[in-house]
Amino acid sequence: MLFFCCTDVDEGTDFVLSHTLCSDFFDKKASMTMNRKLFAKGFRHGIPIGLGYLSVAFTFGMKAVADGLSPLEALLISMTNVTSAGQFAGLPLILAQASYLEVALTQLIINLRYALMSLSISQKMDSDMNTPRRLFFSFMNTDEIFAVASSQPGKVSHWYLYGLMTAPYLGWSVGTILGAVAGTLLPVFLRNALGIAIFGMFLAIILPPARKEKPVRIVVLMAIAMSLCFRYVPMLSQVSSGFVIIICAIAASALGAWLFPVQEEETKAGDANFPIYLLVMAGVTYLIRMLPLTIFRKEIKSTFIKSFLHYVPFAVLGAMTIPDVLYSTGDMRTAAVGLVAAVFLAWKGKSLLTVALAACAAVLAAQGILLLF
């Protein structure tokens, strides 16, 4: 075909046809090259998420099997849900043979924040993001994937999102089966160190914009302040973690949109009922992620709503990071060391992977020092 396109031909129709075929060939080749680059970029950005998921899913796999589920059942839950809080909350309900309505409501409350995230990310997708692609991405629109995708300049393509989804899904699935089958495959100190990787990545996302933009900095601090209140004020500490994130994100983002309006750049278990429990958990989680993402397609014109959605990812990550990062390694002292390392490097604008790995290394170093004393 290439020989035909580049060979001399007679005048007229044959030349036009040959020229068209040659042009189409090179256009498709250039497009494929660009798609591969976008996928590779997304995959690189997803590696820190996958590392963090490996540790969390490993813990879920161990707990699920210890509580009575089979390794296969634990794996199926992870492969169809991909939501840490929802899975950990659903596990005792499955084992207690709770009603399907209770399972559905629990997943709805804990995962309701995904609806807000899907609404926000729907404004970031390029024109090629059709309904089938939106339906596919909805399955993996997790907190961390949403945060990384939202931090990208301009619109995001489906190839970037596909790459971004790959490592986290593998990490979540592989971590679950390793935890379920091997149990103690990873030493405790290593699991603890990996636990801070996700929070290091969060900080790498929110701190560079917070350093440059005062409104973002204020929104993040408001979300963190509210999150601390919900954790340590007795009357507020009874609120579920899912509602805490929703409240903090909505309140901080709304205040930010009201105080600092912005204009977005244009175009820039183990019984016969397990399968039903699995369907209820996965179905509710997927619908929460999918409906806002597929319904809202047109550009939002309201300055307040656009400003609100602009601040959502920063508020969500701020509320999810502080104070939870201090409990991510099993020892607040080592977590604090990892937090300081992550904040320093993130403030300097280092990459997600660099910040995540440096935070893990700092935790390992702190653990080693503590063993000497």
Q: Find the length of the chain.
A: 373
Question: How much is the average pLDDT of 32-37?
Answer: 87
pLDDT given at position 268: 39
Q: Is 283 a residue whose pLDDT tops 80?
A: yes
Domain range for 87: 38-182+189-262+271-372
Residue 6 lies in a domain: no
Q: Across all residues in the chain, what is the average pLDDT? A: 82
DSSP string, 310-332: HHHHHHHHHHHHTTGGGGSSS-H
Percent of the chain with pLDDT over 70: 85
Please tell me which residue, 301 or 363, carries the higher pLDDT value.
363
pLDDT digits (tens, 9 = 90+) for 106-147: 787 667 778 878 888 888 888 888 889 999 999 999 888 988
Q: What are the distances in angstroms from CA 57 to CA 53, 78, 247?
A: 6, 8, 26
In a domain, 11, yes or no: no
In a domain, 69, yes or no: yes
What are 186-235's pLDDT values in tens digits? 677 776 777 787 688 778 878 988 998 999 999 999 999 999 999 999 88
By mean pLDDT, which of 183-197, 238-252, 323-337 is the weakest? 183-197
Round to whole Å and give the CA distance between 195 and 51.
9
How many Å apart are CA 92 and CA 229, to the nearest integer?
28
pLDDT for the residue numbered 31: 75
75 occurs within a structural domain: yes
Better-scored residue on pLDDT, 184 or 136: 136
pLDDT in tens, 339-351: 999 999 999 988 7
In a domain, 165, yes or no: yes
- Res 26: pLDDT: 57
- Residue 139 has what DSSP assignment? T
Of 364 and 58, the one with more pLDDT: 364
As a whole number of angstroms, the distance between CA 2 and CA 31 comes to: 17
Mean of the pLDDT values across residues 29-44? 87
Which residues does 2 contact at the CB level (< 8 Å), separation at least 6?
Answer: 25
C-alpha atoms less than 13 angstroms from C-alpha of 200 in its C-beta half-sphere: 37
Over range 345-364, report the average pLDDT: 87
**How many domains is the chain partitioned into structurally?**
1
- Does any domain span residue 123? yes
Q: For the beta carbon of residue 95, count every other beta carbon within 10 angstroms.
A: 16
pTM of the model: 0.62
Residue 31 inside a domain? The answer is: no
* CA dist list (Å): 176 to 97, 114, 187, 208, 312: 22, 22, 16, 33, 30
pLDDT at 356 over 70: yes
Please check whether residue 291 lies inside any domain of the structure. yes
Residue 298, judged by CB atoms within 10 A of its CB (0-12, 13-18, 19+), counts as exposed
Q: Do residues 62 and 54 make contact, with C-beta atoms less than 8 angstroms apart?
A: no
The predicted model gives 289-302 an average pLDDT of 78
Residue 2, pLDDT score: 41
Q: What per-residue string of b and e applies to 157-179 under the rule 16 or more CB within 10 Å gives b?
A: bbbbbbbbbbbbbebbbbbbbbb
